[in-house]
Structure formats: C-alpha cells, structure tokens
Amino acid sequence: EVLFCGFISNYKKAIEEAKLVLAIEKRNQWALDFLIEITVENQDWEEAIGWTKQLQKITGKTTSEDEAKFDVFKLSLIHISE
C-alpha cells in the first residue's frame, strides 16, 4: 500500500511538472504528448481532448489518427452522460 501511495504521489507530481513546463513553454510538445497519454490512461476524455486540441494548434496538423481519437473520446463522453 505504501508503494502504491508513492506511485500515486509521483504520478500526480509528474502531471504537475508537465503543466509547469507548459506554463513556461506553451508549445512544448513533449509535455502535451505526456499529458495526452496520461489523461487517456485515466479515461479523462475532456482533458485529453483539450490537450490534443492544444497540440494540434501548435503543430498545425490534424491527422486521421487524432480525428479517430476525438470520435472515441466524444462517444465515451456521450455514453457516460446517458
């Protein structure tokens, strides 16, 4: 249990650090990729959509893979709200 609590603490710290990186450098692709990955793992679809949109703004490209992710996220949000 102590190990699990330590993992959660480090996990939250890593998210905070990535957000801090973005506060300093809004166009940091590593931080955005990291936050997208974490929010998808946590099934926090609204956050994942927000980070993905921010990444698309700075890269200037929308791939079919990104569009597919949005479809999955949106369907998940609709399903959850029903």
Mind listing the pLDDT tens digit for each residue in 22-31? 999 999 999 9
> Count of CB atoms within 10 A of residue 55's CB?
20
Check residue 34 and give its pLDDT: 93
DSSP symbol at 27: T
Rounded Cα distance between 67 and 29, Å, is: 18
What is the rounded distance in angstroms from the CA atom of residue 26 to the CA atom of residue 40? 20
- 37-63 tens-digit pLDDT: 888 888 888 888 889 889 988 988 776
pLDDT given for residue 20 in this prediction: 95
DSSP codes of every residue in 42-75? TT-HHHHHHHHHHHHHHH----HHHHHHHHHHHH
